[in-house]
Structure 1
């Protein structure tokens, strides 16, 4: 009841209050509407005297940047997260998707894991440092983006504005179960088109482009992708995501295309994948490319994060890589900034019904983020 009263009054005295409040704000992408989440955070930061900028770069879509100034003798440390969530979906929830309810040590709701718990934990860590007056050698930034699910729109906006081009390191609070993630697969999206000849089914029938494509699909799936013996990343994959063709049931389609998702290792260029697919006789178009990014295990920032996790958890964290991409690939590929992902949310929870975050991990994340900032910027 305490949390219910606080949310009704509009005040958030604890990080858990704020997390409940943000989970109750719908920010599913599409359409986004992250600005309401950003405004709630802005109010909390301003109340604490923290410098904050809200950038509404499209109607209802806003990035938030907060800055806790340091001495300026070391490059800034960026705490990165996104404000949008994936849609609720059509399958049944047993918990209210935007209820922010707590039961058995878990907080439930869309975005609880991915990644409003990370957003609030990072905010709470910065506010704790600000309240204690801990001296920092460099600025501590909160960079919260809109539209991560829309091909990292907000992250690209930060890059365009070169908001933190001089940052020394970036900590991302994507769900990781408080384990360390230091490598992401590269992502190549392709459109492959097969052509035929239009015709009416009552006549000669034409040349069916859909049937051509269907016969080629197994060959696309079995293309031998370049694979390195990477110690952290899974094997490369190639998968068909969508297929489109035909204008009417009684007209032979003269065009059919599929969109292809390819996950690749560091060092693999898009041209290598195009060369592998070229013999199939399809028209190939690159829709998007995000290179694989990684930070070395022995990098000082990785070690700082590792030590902070170990000091604030009962077990040593694992170090791994992931097949997904995050805003980190946008920032690191643009500015060559080292990154580490540590988040209180659960791996594999994104997009699931009855999404939750464990409150114990949420509280641990606050302590970990504070320890990382105070160590890195000491």
Structure 2
């Protein structure tokens, strides 16, 4: 690292600390927008963000991917050098039953060192951080020998059709590296994600009078219960993990053992299976003729959607039931960015720089928008503030200090990547 880069980073990190109240106010304000998806309406929060960025002298492009689904793109720095993308989504999952919240989910309350509200951890804390970081770098007039692109997308929580892939398909964002401010642990950004295979099982039976069951009619719910037991056997399906990803999987197991529940350490090498929804029947005294089950499987390296669906069909064929399987929703294979890639080095090194502790990247057992960037040849990782137990839960929150820490990493990593790291 050159002395000039060191000075720029130190000044930027100190500026985040000096303006921390502005950052927390921004995050609090974002939490007050009920940008639940569904239904999905990013117009109000997008208008606010455009005004915020314009005060720093940053112009914003608006791209409507669907009704009230706005993608915002802003740029600072000098075109012609490397390009770094900072990405975040404005949508949040629905707040659900308000009576189960200890506070208003859209209050944005700051209390006892915490920011409270739906999306605090997923991911308005991180979104505020990247927006603040880009704004601050612009205001500090730091001359970046490259371009920092801010991509704010409206649609991630329902699959992202109108967000990241929409931008990439149209060539509206391109880059040599990308950071998504999705939630992570403080010292461990996620360098890779498992794949996903969602499918809907429809079991068909034959209606009849409930008083004659089980001698009359064919109960679709009962047959679906048998099918579910067979589907869950996918957990035991052997998977051959490729040699090149075994090191990062071992590091991820170490992380789980030290920081999470160790029962999850096998998840990186197995196909997980969640029976998410089940619906069937019309009345208790009618033999149900239809039952549908929605299943979410996550795929390790070495497993594909065909592996899962072929196994499930083999299992169900043995039951002699009438069924159909239809894939839907998330479909992807496991993907990752190597730890030695410049974007990974820039972020990991600067987590250590800001915290003084050793940082390292790990695998994530879920899926994310990162897969879309990798599909377009853009190396990517995820790092953002989070109180992990509260994500998609009632009483979601995030620590103020975590939001500030991540913003410091964002400004330092941008300077490092664009000034020092080679593409």
Q: TM-score, normalised by structure 1?
A: 0.89
Structure 1 unaligned regions, length at least 5: 1-11
Structure 2 unaligned regions, length at least 5: 1-19, 253-266, 318-322
Task: Check conservation: 2:144, 2:415, Cα contact below 8 A.
Answer: yes
1:25 aligns with 2:33: yes
Task: Check conservation: 1:86, 1:350, Cα contact below 8 A.
Answer: no
Q: Which of 314, 333, 342 pairs up with 1:291?
A: 333
The 1:35/1:216 distance shift into structure 2, 3 A limit, reads same
Report the CA distance between 1:249 and its aligned residue. 4.3
1:363 aligns with 2:404: yes
Counterpart CA distance in 1 for 2:56 and 2:44 is 19
Report the CA distance between 1:141 and its aligned residue. 0.9
Counterpart CA distance in 2 for 1:168 and 1:238 is 35
The 1:184/1:196 distance shift into structure 2, 3 A limit, reads same
**81-90 or 56-65, larger mean C-alpha shift:** 56-65
1:221 aligns with 2:232: yes
Counterpart CA distance in 2 for 1:73 and 1:315 is 31
Report the CA distance between 1:107 and its aligned residue. 1.6
1:243 aligns with 2:272: no
1:83 aligns with 2:90: yes
- Structure 1 counterpart of 2:192: 183
Q: Helix, strand or coil for the counterpart of 1:305?
A: helix
- Structure 1 counterpart of 2:291: 256
Task: Check conservation: 1:85, 1:149, Cα contact below 8 A.
Answer: yes
Report the CA distance between 1:266 and its aligned residue. 2.2
Report the CA distance between 1:348 and its aligned residue. 3.1
Task: Check conservation: 1:193, 1:284, Cα contact below 8 A.
Answer: yes
1:52 aligns with 2:52: no
Q: Helix, strand or coil for the counterpart of 1:182?
A: strand
- Structure 2 counterpart of 1:305: 347
Report the CA distance between 1:286 and its aligned residue. 1.5
Q: Helix, strand or coil for the counterpart of 2:226?
A: helix
Counterpart CA distance in 1 for 2:230 and 2:149 is 47
Instruction: Report 1:144-163 matches (<5 A).
Output: 144-153=152-161, 154-163=163-172
Counterpart CA distance in 2 for 1:93 and 1:29 is 19
**263-272 or 91-100, larger mean C-alpha shift:** 91-100
The 1:23/1:52 distance shift into structure 2, 3 A limit, reads same
- Structure 1 counterpart of 2:133: 125
Q: Helix, strand or coil for the counterpart of 2:70?
A: strand
1:209 aligns with 2:220: yes
The 1:202/1:112 distance shift into structure 2, 3 A limit, reads closer
Q: Helix, strand or coil for the counterpart of 2:146?
A: coil
Report the CA distance between 1:142 and its aligned residue. 1.0
Greater helix share, structure number: 2
Instruction: Report 1:272-287 matches (<5 A).
Output: 272-279=307-314, 280-281=316-317, 282-287=323-328
Task: Check conservation: 2:198, 2:295, Cα contact below 8 A.
Answer: yes
Which structure ranks higher in relative contact order (CA pairs < 8 Å, sequence separation ≥ 6)?
2
Report the CA distance between 1:308 and its aligned residue. 0.8
Task: Check conservation: 1:199, 1:251, Cα contact below 8 A.
Answer: yes
Q: Deviations over 1:162-201 (max 9, x none)?
A: 222x311110111113331111111100122323333444
Report the CA distance between 1:256 and its aligned residue. 2.3
Q: TM-score, normalised by structure 2?
A: 0.80
Q: Which of 67, 78, 96 pairs up with 2:75?
A: 67
Report the CA distance between 1:304 and its aligned residue. 1.4
Q: Which of 389, 392, 400 pairs up with 1:351?
A: 392
- Structure 1 counterpart of 2:15: none
Counterpart CA distance in 2 for 1:183 and 1:226 is 21
Q: Helix, strand or coil for the counterpart of 1:25?
A: coil
Counterpart CA distance in 1 for 2:116 and 2:286 is 50
Q: How many residues align?
A: 364
Q: Helix, strand or coil for the counterpart of 1:337?
A: coil
The 1:96/1:200 distance shift into structure 2, 3 A limit, reads closer
- Structure 2 counterpart of 1:9: none
Q: Helix, strand or coil for the counterpart of 1:14?
A: helix
Counterpart CA distance in 1 for 2:396 and 2:204 is 43
Task: Check conservation: 1:114, 1:349, Cα contact below 8 A.
Answer: no
